[in-house]
Chains A and B, each alone.
Chain A
Amino acid sequence: MIDKKYIETMLERIEEYIKIGLVSEKTEIYITPLDETLVYILELFQKHNISIAGIIDSRKKYHTTIWDGIKITAAEDVLIPYRKNKIIIVTAPWDIPLMIKLDALEYWHNVNRFWPCEPLPMGEPSWLKRQYHRFKGKLNKAIFHETKMVYSGYKVYKKLPKIDQVFYFFPHRSLGDIYILGLYLQAKTSLFEKEFTLCVVGKGCETLAKYMGFRNVVQLTQREMDGICRWKMVQKDKVSGEILHFHYIYHAVVPKILEDNVIPFKDCYDLLVFDDCLKEKLNKVSLPRNDVSKICEKYGLVKAKSVVIAPYAKSIPEVHFIFWQLLANALLEKNYTVFTNCNGISEPPLLGTKTMPIDLCDAISVIEFAGVFIGLRSGFCDLISSADARKICIFHESKENSIDYKSYFTMYDIVGSHTWKEYEYTDKNCQLLVTEIVKQLEIGSEGNTFR
């Protein structure tokens, strides 16, 4: 049984809120949690002719049920998107998962949208309890989280080998960007003139950076890199070095602008990261080729008559598996030898094709040997952009209100890139796209490259 005094104080508080005038015609009122007090609250609202939009409860078993004509829902279903005209009445704060969610959604801070109706304790709290509540009120969870992150960055920065004192941080696990940085290194951009250390995320990026000619490369985890970048942003010029990406800066306004004015991916580096324009020098950069005849023999590649399909990517959404399978089937029918660039464990090969994990350092040579490459637009495409082979690049469908992937990540703007065919995959054009790709391969079967 609930104490009568408890209910009386609670109803008094709600009436106070209504009297102040916080409720208008547009406001949606939600009550939490689902317990016996609801009966009394609903009576009160009926008296004032105010309707209730819903009851919020974190227990899944009650979701989608109706209680006295009112829907019971989860907090995230109702409170996201965040709207100003929503009010939550909290009769008791024992539903802790829900309270955490409300805190994360910043409902705590605004009296207009958050009505705590828990009655005050009857007696005077002790001095210790008062101090505890005072401290708890001042504790800001966001600052605690950020401080932890910055501190971890500070610790990692302290541990870095300080031989040359200049650090460049590349914050994403992206092969394509490392390839572009490598091109700038070889074109001798002013930023890379002095001795420096490049910090990258992941083993793949480290291997590629070394292949591209970076001498001092440090491999970090994504968490360490996030921390160190935040430390750089806080310390600014006191940490020698730069963050080599235009999208990363925490409070930057550039990403929003790039959504409107589509500047190709590579040009963003020219404009925003490296100030000097090196287009002429960049065009002359050529990467070394390795002898891959033994590797190709091992996997059974037929020179200029094999197709390498790369359906997997780490940092971008993947195209539907059915498309790749239809494509592989169509190519097998035309008597091509088809390989899937995958590790064979977490990434299974397409049915009827052979598994071929390509080492990043040998990628250009292997693709030139095979003759045809068809792959999802990922960092791997950047790496092999200058290879002399027939290359087809598949873009996934751009979402509404988002950048146009095809024009932003176009292969034509990558330095040294040539002989690419670009297609956009949608759910509707799946079969048509397969036919078109096979047709293109037959037309260009005489030469090494597309004309």
Chain B
Amino acid sequence: MSSNSFWYSLTKVYFGQRYWRKIQRKPDYSAGNVAIMLFLSGEDECCHYSLTYLNEFLEKNGYVSAFILTNSKWVEENYRKYNSKTQRLEKISTKNCDKLITLYEWFHFDRNFYLISLHKPYGRDQCLKLPSEDSKLISHLVKRGIYGIIDDKIEVEDS
């Protein structure tokens, strides 16, 4: 099966779906009103702003807490510093991360799932071309673009 065939892509989606079912069986998922967030490695700045605005995002969307899935060491070490309402953090392998991303590219499989990245899935990196002051662009993209929080003033202190 060649890598650009339809059935090859569908097989990858199947594995993604199977892994998602595993996550659904966890008590963190079935607790209700929990946002499941996938943080990716290699995007530390994006992760920093995502954790900064996490509480605000949870409040505005009626979530009680967040269940973080990540393959990033930086997130694992630093997420407690942000005092965010994180229920639990689970380190997953890059392979499993890719499975979820493939599934997310195929379709938006769960209303409570959020992919925190400015490069994945395909086409998201287009937003980095927008004109803005360098320090403010990423924080604005995370706050407005990914989280959808509407706010006039965007002031973030770098840690």
22 contacts between A and B (CB under 8 A): A84-B62, A140-B109, A142-B109, A143-B13, A146-B106, A233-B123, A239-B4, A249-B122, A249-B123, A250-B121, A251-B115, A253-B118, A253-B141, A253-B144, A254-B126, A254-B130, A256-B148, A257-B145, A260-B144, A261-B132, A263-B130, A263-B131
Judged by a CB distance under 8 angstroms, whether A299 is at the interface is no
Judged by a CB distance under 8 angstroms, whether A234 is at the interface is yes
Task: Check B124–A249 contact: CB distance below 8 A.
Answer: yes
A235 to B3, CA, bound (A): 9
Task: Check A112–B17 contact: CB distance below 8 A.
Answer: no
Contact A271 to B129, CB < 8 A, known contacts A249-B123, A253-B146: yes
Tally of chain B residues near chain A (CB < 8 A): 38
Task: Check B9–A234 contact: CB distance below 8 A.
Answer: yes
Residues of B close to A438: CB separation below 8 A: none
Contact A142 to B107, CB < 8 A, known contacts A249-B123, A257-B141: yes
Judged by a CB distance under 8 angstroms, whether B32 is at the interface is yes
Name the residue on B nearest A268 (C-beta).
Answer: B130
**Cβ distance A440 to chain B, nearest Cβ, rounded Å:** 35
**Cβ distance B56 to chain A, nearest Cβ, rounded Å:** 16
A199 to B108, CA, bound (A): 26
B124 in complex: contacting residue of A110, A235, A251, CB < 8 Å: A251
What is B's interface to A at a CB cutoff of 8 Å? 3-4, 6, 9-10, 13, 17, 30, 32-33, 62, 104-111, 115, 118, 121-124, 126-127, 129-132, 140-141, 144-146, 148, 150
Residues of B close to A110: CB separation below 8 A: 32
Contact A111 to B123, CB < 8 A, known contacts A146-B106, A234-B9, A254-B130: no
Judged by a CB distance under 8 angstroms, whether A76 is at the interface is no
Name the residue on B nearest A246 (C-beta).
Answer: B126
Q: Mark A247-274, 1 if CB is under 8 A from B, else 0.
A: 0011111101100110100000001100
A251 in complex: contacting residue of B17, B104, B110, CB < 8 Å: B104
**Cβ distance A409 to chain B, nearest Cβ, rounded Å:** 19
Tally of chain A residues near chain B (CB < 8 A): 38
Residues of A close to B129: CB separation below 8 A: 271-272, 275
Judged by a CB distance under 8 angstroms, whether A103 is at the interface is no
Residues of A close to B33: CB separation below 8 A: 84, 112
What is A's interface to B at a CB cutoff of 8 Å? 83-84, 106, 109-112, 140, 142-143, 145-147, 150-151, 154, 233-236, 238-239, 243, 246, 249-254, 256-257, 260-261, 263, 271-272, 275
Name the residue on B nearest A252 (C-beta).
Answer: B123
Residues of B close to A235: CB separation below 8 A: 4, 9
B126 in complex: contacting residue of A147, A234, A260, A272, CB < 8 Å: A272
Name the residue on A nearest B61 (C-beta).
Answer: A84
Residues of B close to A275: CB separation below 8 A: 129
Contact A143 to B17, CB < 8 A, known contacts A106-B111, A110-B32, A253-B146: yes
Residues of A close to B104: CB separation below 8 A: 251
Task: Check B122–A236 contact: CB distance below 8 A.
Answer: yes
**Cβ distance B121 to chain A, nearest Cβ, rounded Å:** 5
A236 to B106, CA, bound (A): 12
A145 to B17, CA, bound (A): 15
A151 to B9, CA, bound (A): 10
Task: Check B6–A154 contact: CB distance below 8 A.
Answer: yes
